[in-house]
């Protein structure tokens, strides 16, 4: 545990000019305030920093806007992207009048989920291992107005650029549709930029494992090590930050939108999960795929509450252009060993310590604190109430006959459905005061604005289909 003395020593040794205080808003976007070094001392680090929370979407009204950022000294790093030497620190948001966690602060909610898990005696550690995917483009244009609606993205890897004239010539080496997994350079043009992303993240104390091209042209993934829930959620935020910033430094642009291009694979964020107690893995056992009853019940809770979970794990209208039945998408709420067509996969491992479940429907638009916390709460509900997921489905679910397919439940088909499901099914989230009704209602209201914007705007393809009808 890093203490104030260590932080002040780091500041002195690195000649720090600014301390960047960072927190996450309900949508999952990092926010920050840069404090000049003259404001940093033992007292300010202990007491925290006041700020106006009324301008953060989904938080305070202006008449009660004072809020407190409390630095978590265990999560600091030297920011490599700032010209002035900067130490960044993750913060929790507190109510200044009580000193208690603000109930709409995502990071505090995630901590509450862990406290709840401990309080009911299920486990003392929750491990999460996310796999966020993203696209890198060379150019992006967009406009939305009353009379214009379009977006255009371009990458030198796009198959549509095979006949394009480039100033330096068209080299011709590019992955085709669904051809990006895993050719070496020069077909894989992202080797160097991904290597820099991984190196930068490692310098920011994020444990990294690998990187590779993904299935679609211009699609990529960095391998982040699993870790405890809060640390891993913090790491996802740093992952997204580094991907955006390194791409920007290369004169490129990156996005975690699940479906920025048509006709090829979308980007997900598979999330591996397990619970331990007293240094022992609780998901290892003698059941199906060497799972314990607790692991099966955890899966049962996830499947039961999947549609409500979608509001946090797939929180964009664009998420549901990836989660489309009949395509290579984890929409079917079934579990299976090693089978990537199921929304819950049991990865193969020879060690009981590696026994885990992989939930495949989330995407990286998710607020990692809320997504991880909500999945943990669903799994704990499954364990508490012994919700068995039924029989495993060890077959290619993408190729099921219609009569069999109709019996398999699915995730939501839209963000509206997900938000409505959350409003109906949220008792498992408010157990132990982890989430609050007020928080859930505020989140639904915030995200419903996006639904309304999406539903009220004509889509370009509607012109193609209907203009002359």
Q: Cite the active site residues.
A: 52, 131, 133, 214, 221, 270, 340, 358, 360
Answer yes or no: are the C-beta atoms of 132 and 364 closer than 8 Å: yes
Tokens representing 459? 């889509």
Q: How far apart are CA 368 and CA 149, in angstroms?
A: 30
Q: How far apart are CA 396 and CA 359, in angstroms?
A: 17
Answer yes or no: are the C-beta atoms of 252 and 137 closer than 8 Å: yes
Q: How far apart are CA 88 and CA 306, in angstroms?
A: 35
Q: How far apart are CA 180 and CA 163, in angstroms?
A: 19
Q: Collapsing DSSP states into helix, strand and coil, what is residue 82?
A: coil
User: Exposure pattern of 342-377 as b/e (b: 16+ CB <10 Å)?
Assistant: bbbbbbeeeeeeebbbbbbbbbbbbbbbbbbbbbbb
Tokens representing 27? 């949508």
Answer yes or no: are the C-beta atoms of 140 and 152 closer than 8 Å: yes
CA dihedral (291, 297, 300, 305) positive or negative: negative
Tokens representing 176? 């085709």
Q: How far apart are CA 197 and CA 248, in angstroms?
A: 11
Give the closest residue to 388 by CA, choosing from 284, 445, 468, 304.
304
Angle at the Cα of 310 from the Cα atoms of 94 and 222, rounded to 5 degrees: 80
Angle at the Cα of 9 from the Cα atoms of 6 and 10, rounded to 5 degrees: 85
Burial of 164 (0-12, 13-18, 19+ CB in 10 A): exposed
Query: CB within 8 A of 171, min separation 6: which ones?
Result: 186
Answer yes or no: are the C-beta atoms of 275 and 399 closer than 8 Å: no
Q: Collapsing DSSP states into helix, strand and coil, what is residue 109?
A: helix
The H or E element spanning position 297 is helix 293-304
Please report, to the nearest 10 degrees, the dihedral formed by the alpha carbons of residues 333, 303, 310, 328 taken in order. Answer: -20
Tokens representing 213? 């091209």
Answer yes or no: are the C-beta atoms of 61 and 54 closer than 8 Å: yes
């Amino acid at each position: 545990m890093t203490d104030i003395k260590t932080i002040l020593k780091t500041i002195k040794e690195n000649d720090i000019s600014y301390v960047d205080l960072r927190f996450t808003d309900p949508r999952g976007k990092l926010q920050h305030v840069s404090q000049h070094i003259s404001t940093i001392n033992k007292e300010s680090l202990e007491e925290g920093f006041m700020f106006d929370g009324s301008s953060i979407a989904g938080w305070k009204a202006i008449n009660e806007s004072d809020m407190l950022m409390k630095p978590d000294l265990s999560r600091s790093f030297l920011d490599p992207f700032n010209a002035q030497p900067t130490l960044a620190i993750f913060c929790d948001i507190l109510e200044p009048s009580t000193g208690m966690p603000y109930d709409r602060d995502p990071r505090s909610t995630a901590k509450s989920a862990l406290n709840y898990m401990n309080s009911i005696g299920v486990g003392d550690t929750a491990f999460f291992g996310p796999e966020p995917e993203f696209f890198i483009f060379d150019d992006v244009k967009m406009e939305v107005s009353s009379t214009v609606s379009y977006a255009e993205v371009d990458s030198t890897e796009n198959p549509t650029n095979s006949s394009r004239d480039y100033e330096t010539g068209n080299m011709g080496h590019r992955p085709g549709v669904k051809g990006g997994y895993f050719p070496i350079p020069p077909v894989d043009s992202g080797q160097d930029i991904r290597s820099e992303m991984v190196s930068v993240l490692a310098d920011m104390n994020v444990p990294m494992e690998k990187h590779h091209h993904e299935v679609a042209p211009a699609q990529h993934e960095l391998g982040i090590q699993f870790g405890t829930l809060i640390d891993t959620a913090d790491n996802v935020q740093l992952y997204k930050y580094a991907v955006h910033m390194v791409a920007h430094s290369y004169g490129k642009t990156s996005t975690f939108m699940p479906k920025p291009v048509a006709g090829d694979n979308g980007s997900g964020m598979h999330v591996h999960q397990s619970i331990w107690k007293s240094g022992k893995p609780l998901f290892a056992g003698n059941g199906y795929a060497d799972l314990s009853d607790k692991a099966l019940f955890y899966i049962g809770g996830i499947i039961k509450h999947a549609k409500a979970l979608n509001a946090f794990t797939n929180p964009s209208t664009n998420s549901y252009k990836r989660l489309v039945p009949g395509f290579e998408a984890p929409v079917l709420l079934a579990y299976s060993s090693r089978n990537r067509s199921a929304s819950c996969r049991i990865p193969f491992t020879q060690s009981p310590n590696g026994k885990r479940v992989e939930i495949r429907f989330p995407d990286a638009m998710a607020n990692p604190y809320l997504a991880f916390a909500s999945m943990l709460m669903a799994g704990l509900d499954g364990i508490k109430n012994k919700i068995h997921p039924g029989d495993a489905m060890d077959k290619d679910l993408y190729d099921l006959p219609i009569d069999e397919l109709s019996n398999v439940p699915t995730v939501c088909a839209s963000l509206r459905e997900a938000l409505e499901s959350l409003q109906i099914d949220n008792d498992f989230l408010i157990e132990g005061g982890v989430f609050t009704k007020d928080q859930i209602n505020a989140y639904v209201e915030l995200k419903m604005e996006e639904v309304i914007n999406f539903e009220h705007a004509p889509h370009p393809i509607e012109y193609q289909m209907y203009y002359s009808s």
